[in-house]
C-alpha cells in the first residue's frame, strides 16, 4: 500500500465533516508537505475525532505551533 493510500485510509473518520476536510487536504495539499509534515499529519490523525473537529472548525487552537500550522493548511485546503 502506498503512503498516500495509507493516509487516505487513516483520514476516514466517523464524522462526515472530518472526512471531507481531510480528503480535500489529501487531494490538494498532502503532496506539498515535506517528510516531517507528512509524519506530523500521521501523528495528528491519532487524536480523537472530537479534538480534530474542534481544531479544524477553528473553535480551539492547538497549543503545539507545528500542529497549529498544519491545521491552518488543512483548513485552507477546504476553503480554497
Domains by residue range for the chain, with CATH: 3-79 (1.10.150.250)
d(C-alpha 6, C-alpha 80), whole Å: 24
CA 1-29-17 angle, 5° bins = 85
- Could you report the per-residue pLDDT of 36-79, keeping only the tens digit for each? 999 999 999 999 999 999 999 999 999 999 999 999 999 998 87
Per-residue pLDDT averaged across 8-33, rounded? 92
d(C-alpha 30, C-alpha 28), whole Å: 6
d(C-alpha 50, C-alpha 63), whole Å: 16
pTM, full prediction: 0.90
Cβ atoms of 38 and 3 closer than 8 Å = yes
Amino acid at each position: 500500500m502506498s503512503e498516500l493510500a495509507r493516509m487516505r485510509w487513516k483520514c476516514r473518520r466517523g464524522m462526515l465533516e472530518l472526512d471531507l476536510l481531510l480528503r480535500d487536504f489529501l487531494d490538494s495539499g498532502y503532496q506539498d508537505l515535506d517528510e516531517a509534515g507528512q509524519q506530523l499529519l500521521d501523528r495528528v490523525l491519532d487524536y480523537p475525532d472530537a479534538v480534530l473537529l474542534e481544531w479544524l472548525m477553528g473553535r480551539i487552537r492547538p497549543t503545539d505551533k507545528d500542529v497549529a500550522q498544519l491545521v491552518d493548511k488543512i483548513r485552507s485546503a477546504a476553503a480554497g
